[in-house]
Chains A and B, each alone.
Chain A
């Protein structure tokens, strides 16, 4: 990561106003959004939205042609171009032909994308942004930090300062008064403007309509008062049918600002008369700027389903810490990373793609069904393909791909030092062999790894067998979790098999874009894990479970190694996470827990991969309750703990405050124990409490359950 980028992250993290405002907003957003969607079938709604947008994206040319024909039949002029320069030329020429001296604009990210204001001003045309947030950042000479709330990074003090300069009067920080100032200052500009420029939230091909969604009422004035209206619309806003308008209007305000509907929605279909009786000139510009290329890329086509609500930013644990400006571009957050990689260039996303911790929050709330984490992974992969792996990383993954060497090093680490510290690349080894990070202690490498303990466990011989895939953390740092797992399964009469040749699940390589390394890990594991006759392959690490059940197949497929697909699918079908398996065994009456004793309160932390990829969240809770614990839910129980594998080592400055918030939420429940299903989360959260104190016990669900087995 570049030094300047790290510096900008640190500036943002130390900006208390920014982190305070964003933090408060994101906490409230989650609650308000859920309330706005109450009584609605969100899954069905977003499928409808995604399908309509995807359909249009598949036939962009035809849909754009239909739009043009229909809008022009009504008297609008439609200009379609791939080139952002052409957009600017068109508008400038129009302004010149019509003698336009002043322009009022309602919020449009597309105009920001091509830096239209600068082009107009260079020709001597005055431009006023009229959305309050946009006007603030225009006066401040900044770019928007959020696509829906462009000035969310600014305080009322800063706004008062900027406005005071503009109106040449000392203003206080009274927000309603500041808003009134904006109304009074902008009103004469509206009335005098020769041209109004808007964006467009939806463009409907079959009717030639554009739909504008606003709260302040500025778009109504921009489209009504000036005699010329120019709407600049990205082609991803096109839908074929008017029937798609209602579902998009259902989703957009709810997802953007948790409103049932914005104060104003305007559906404009062709030009209307001006107030002096003349006919308005309506120009609609459909802008491409690489959107068609995106639509043709199988991995990124889904990006055109975006309705620009910004909910991916609002739920992002990273965005709420660093805000938008560290993204260094017009579009910010997860979606911004993807759009920047395309609208600017792939290289531009090199640093910012690293901000994504892959927690999957955004994917869950996206009304356009975009898989942003997956697209960011694809950007990583392409960056590695384009630039090659960094030398250090290459050396590390060289080790990971050599199981004997890798495991040898892990063993050596347990002997060499506690806490482990070392120079050179070994400290960058996946997950737990790092010697840095603030606010968190690292676990000692276990004296005796699980692989050495396992042969000593006496097991009942049984027909029913489960292969245990331990993963590096359980094997070398938390063997007790593995022991608990064996105890649980044995109790249900299942014999556990532990193939010693199992190796790293490949997640560290995969999440760094090193697909070849991950593929080799996949092949090695597939071979080993399928060697044994067993009903299940069970893991107590959700990241490993996801690797076995989802990523192996996807990784091998993406590299064209199809000869492995059948076996990858066989493995995936057998793979199950521990809580799901134990829940099944308990439901089937094969396992039961001690009753009668009143156990302390417990709180449960949902791990990202378990909750959002494997969709498992009720199972561990029900098991813990069955085992006698009283569950006390924490605030934001399913928010990432900041671990993210090697993320916490690459960006410890971001990981640490995320962890701090998690520890706080755990402590506020008053529960003396926090349970979780992921050894990575155990490492992060236990390390945090170890350094901070607080006396909360951090336990893997497997251990808590094994302690409570009956008999």
Chain B
């Protein structure tokens, strides 16, 4: 299912990675942030919307990254180049990520930034929408958000252009160690 997801997500312009442990994930995130020259200047910062991934993470490991903030306000998110958030599920047949984004911070980090890094528990890949909706329901989740690839438009002469109002780059990191069945 991971392979199908990867094919579908890549086809719509997402980047897909898979790592075993949180440490590896963290290394990958740090290198991504460094690669994007994230620093403490307007337009160059990063925001991280909290989630289970951060439980038990040594904050010291992230100290060396100036400009990264765990407090996601609209001002910070609007100033951020990179937004990191967790997405609970991956839907294989369309290459989509899904999460209950009732918390505004999750939406701000994944919609106002130029680059969205999404952390997903590898165990939570489902085949399709029908199986997804057996795991997440509007009865318990007020804002169910699907993200499939980066923001796109073809409104000018039908030419596909990436990055309109949402992120122009979507980096998906599956983490085996992250616990499934959340959301």
- List residues of A whose CB falls within 8 A of some B CB: 21, 24-25, 74, 130-133, 136, 149-152, 154-156, 159, 175-176, 178-180, 182-183, 186-187, 190-191, 204, 207, 209, 215-218, 220-221, 224-225, 242-243, 245-246, 249-250, 257, 259-275
- Once the chains bind, are A269 and B94 in contact (CB under 8 Å)? no
- Once the chains bind, are A272 and B102 in contact (CB under 8 Å)? yes
Tell me, in angstroms, the Cα distance from A187 to B159 when the chains sit together.
Answer: 22
Please give, as numbers and ranges, the residues of chain A lying within 8 Å of B158 by CB-CB distance.
21, 24-25, 149, 152
The verdict on B81 contacting chain A, using a C-beta distance below 8 Å, is: no
- Once the chains bind, are B129 and A250 in contact (CB under 8 Å)? yes
Contact indicator per residue, chain B 129-150, by CB within 8 Å of chain A (1) or not (0): 1100100011101111111111
The verdict on B169 contacting chain A, using a C-beta distance below 8 Å, is: no
Tell me, in angstroms, the Cα distance from A266 to B157 when the chains sit together.
Answer: 27
Cβ < 8 Å to A, chain B residues 92-139: 93-96, 102-105, 107-108, 111-112, 128-130, 133, 137-139
Tell me, in angstroms, the Cα distance from A275 to B103 when the chains sit together.
Answer: 8
- Once the chains bind, are B153 and A215 in contact (CB under 8 Å)? yes
Closest to A210 in B: B138
If A175-B157, A246-B129, A263-B147 touch, whether A221 touches B112 (CB-CB below 8 Å) is yes
The verdict on B45 contacting chain A, using a C-beta distance below 8 Å, is: no
If A150-B155, A152-B158, A260-B94 touch, whether A224 touches B104 (CB-CB below 8 Å) is yes
Closest to B72 in A: A275
- Once the chains bind, are B157 and A155 in contact (CB under 8 Å)? yes
Interface-facing stretch out of B16-24, B29-37, B62-70, B160-168? B160-168
A-B contact pairs, 15 of them (CB 8 A): A21-B157, A133-B155, A136-B156, A156-B156, A156-B157, A217-B164, A221-B112, A242-B138, A246-B128, A261-B94, A261-B96, A264-B145, A266-B146, A270-B142, A273-B104
The one of A179, A204, A262 that contacts B138, using a Cβ cutoff of 8 Å: A204
Tell me, in angstroms, the Cα distance from A500 to B155 when the chains sit together.
Answer: 58
Tell me, in angstroms, the Cα distance from A215 to B163 when the chains sit together.
Answer: 10
Tell me, in angstroms, the Cα distance from A689 to B67 when the chains sit together.
Answer: 70
Closest to B167 in A: A217
Closest to A24 in B: B158
- Once the chains bind, are A216 and B152 in contact (CB under 8 Å)? yes
Please give, as numbers and ranges, the residues of chain B lying within 8 Å of A216 by CB-CB distance.
151-153, 164-166
Please give, as numbers and ranges, the residues of chain B lying within 8 Å of A267 by CB-CB distance.
138, 141, 143-145
- Once the chains bind, are B73 and A217 in contact (CB under 8 Å)? no
Tell me, in angstroms, the Cα distance from A275 to B76 when the chains sit together.
Answer: 11
Tell me, in angstroms, the Cα distance from A187 to B75 when the chains sit together.
Answer: 12
- Once the chains bind, are B78 and A179 in contact (CB under 8 Å)? no
* 4 A-B pairs closest in CB distance: A217-B166, A133-B155, A265-B146, A216-B164
The verdict on B6 contacting chain A, using a C-beta distance below 8 Å, is: no
- Once the chains bind, are A186 and B165 in contact (CB under 8 Å)? yes
The one of A150, A155, A179, A191 that contacts B164, using a Cβ cutoff of 8 Å: A179
Tell me, in angstroms, the Cα distance from A207 to B143 when the chains sit together.
Answer: 12
The verdict on B182 contacting chain A, using a C-beta distance below 8 Å, is: no
Cβ distance B118 to chain A, nearest Cβ, rounded Å: 13
Please give, as numbers and ranges, the residues of chain A lying within 8 Å of B139 by CB-CB distance.
207, 269
Beyond A190-B165, A191-B74, list 7 extra A-B contacts (CB 8 Å): A175-B161, A179-B163, A224-B108, A257-B154, A263-B151, A263-B166, A275-B74
The one of A190, A204, A218, A264 that contacts B146, using a Cβ cutoff of 8 Å: A264
Please give, as numbers and ranges, the residues of chain A lying within 8 Å of B146 by CB-CB distance.
261, 264-266
Cβ distance B169 to chain A, nearest Cβ, rounded Å: 13
Please give, as numbers and ranges, the residues of chain B lying within 8 Å of A246 by CB-CB distance.
128-130, 133
- Once the chains bind, are B104 and A272 in contact (CB under 8 Å)? yes
Closest to B144 in A: A267
- Once the chains bind, are A260 and B8 in contact (CB under 8 Å)? yes
- Once the chains bind, are B138 and A269 in contact (CB under 8 Å)? yes
The one of A156, A179, A221, A261 that contacts B111, using a Cβ cutoff of 8 Å: A221
Please give, as numbers and ranges, the residues of chain A lying within 8 Å of B155 by CB-CB distance.
131-133, 136, 149-152
If A266-B146, A272-B104 touch, whether A183 touches B73 (CB-CB below 8 Å) is no
The one of B94, B105, B167 that contacts A275, using a Cβ cutoff of 8 Å: B105
Please give, as numbers and ranges, the residues of chain B lying within 8 Å of A131 by CB-CB distance.
155
The one of A218, A266, A274 that contacts B144, using a Cβ cutoff of 8 Å: A266
Closest to B164 in A: A216
Cβ distance B127 to chain A, nearest Cβ, rounded Å: 12
- Once the chains bind, are B156 and A175 in contact (CB under 8 Å)? yes
Please give, as numbers and ranges, the residues of chain A lying within 8 Å of B152 by CB-CB distance.
215-216, 263
If A149-B155, A179-B164, A216-B166 touch, whether A263 touches B150 (CB-CB below 8 Å) is yes
Tell me, in angstroms, the Cα distance from A559 to B159 when the chains sit together.
Answer: 50
Tell me, in angstroms, the Cα distance from A637 to B138 when the chains sit together.
Answer: 46
Please give, as numbers and ranges, the residues of chain B lying within 8 Å of A133 by CB-CB distance.
153, 155
Tell me, in angstroms, the Cα distance from A630 to B41 when the chains sit together.
Answer: 69
Tell me, in angstroms, the Cα distance from A136 to B153 when the chains sit together.
Answer: 13
The residue in A21, A133, A266, A267 that gathers the most chain B C-beta atoms within 10 A of its C-beta is A267
Closest to B112 in A: A221
Please give, as numbers and ranges, the residues of chain B lying within 8 Å of A156 by CB-CB distance.
156-157, 159
The one of B73, B104, B137, B148 that contacts A264, using a Cβ cutoff of 8 Å: B148
Closest to B78 in A: A191
- Once the chains bind, are B163 and A183 in contact (CB under 8 Å)? yes
Please give, as numbers and ranges, the residues of chain A lying within 8 Å of B156 by CB-CB distance.
132, 136, 151, 154, 156, 159, 175, 178-179
Tell me, in angstroms, the Cα distance from A187 to B96 when the chains sit together.
Answer: 25
Cβ distance B123 to chain A, nearest Cβ, rounded Å: 22
Please give, as numbers and ranges, the residues of chain B lying within 8 Å of A257 by CB-CB distance.
154
Please give, as numbers and ranges, the residues of chain A lying within 8 Å of B167 by CB-CB distance.
217
Tell me, in angstroms, the Cα distance from A216 to B95 when the chains sit together.
Answer: 17
Closest to A274 in B: B104
